[in-house]
A and B are shown apart, each in its own frame.
Chain A
């Protein structure tokens, strides 16, 4: 079946540190890949996405590259801020003909950044 695996949290970093959150997926086909962020008490916000192999999604200093050969979509940021503290979810979805299917999420990784 289709699934997403994220690194276990929590991840605790100091401000301006480098961030990597690992995400790998298993899929029958070629899904689109997403990173969502959830701030305390809020719903999910799309952070970035990539729709095909070798695409790089980027937003707000975060980046992730769709790697088909390693079935990975690791999230990175060069210098984290306290305001980046949140839960990050990796997800996949099939578009097009299979669009009736849904987002499949990982379990989430909690990031805590201290000043």
Chain B
């Protein structure tokens, strides 16, 4: 079975721009979560989608938004990028809300 795939692997954007990050969940997994990991820090929860509905959100502003598609893949969109948005963005999928996560390798976003 394939794991969680994220694209792109690296990205450089300019402050004020918008970015879309993509995640293909592990086969059969219907729940996707996104995390932001700043350099030298632990991952911070952004939000979670279960069957195309957002059902949990961390302490991130509304310019962080997401989507989950019928095939359970997901997007993370960030508007009006700020320098502090530079981080590794991790996607994790699970089978059901109470199951263990499988993490992708992440997208490294640099905002200049």
A42 interface contact, C-beta 8 A: yes
- Which A-chain residue is minimally distant from B58 (CB atoms)? A102
A17 to chain B, nearest CB (A): 24
Chain B: minimal CB distance from A37 (Å) = 11
* Chain B residues closer than 8 Å to A106, beta-carbon distance: 42
The answer to whether B105 touches A43 (Cβ under 8 A) is yes
Please encode chain B, from 68 to 112, with 1 for each CB lying within 8 Å of some chain A CB and 0 for all others.
Answer: 000000000000000000000010100011101101111000000
B18 at the interface (CB under 8 A from A): no
Is there contact, CB below 8 Å, between B45 and A103? yes
Counting chain B residues whose Cβ lies within 8 A of the other chain, the interface size class is 20 to 34
Known: A44-B103, A100-B50, A100-B55. A108 touches B98 (CB 8 A): no
Q: Does A101 contact B (CB under 8 A)?
A: yes
Residues in B whose Cβ lies below 8 Å from that of A41:
105
Cα distance A91–B45 in the bound complex, in angstroms: 12
Q: Tell me, in angstroms, the Cα distance from A50 to B49 when the chains sit together.
A: 25
Picked from A42, A46, A100, A108, the residue with its CB within 8 Å of the CB of B101 is A46
Known: A100-B56, A102-B33, A102-B48. A43 touches B90 (CB 8 A): yes
Docked CA distance A108–B43 (Å): 9
What residue of chain B has the Cβ atom nearest to residue A99's Cβ? Answer: B97
Tell me, yes or no, whether A89 is within 8 Å of chain B by CB.
yes
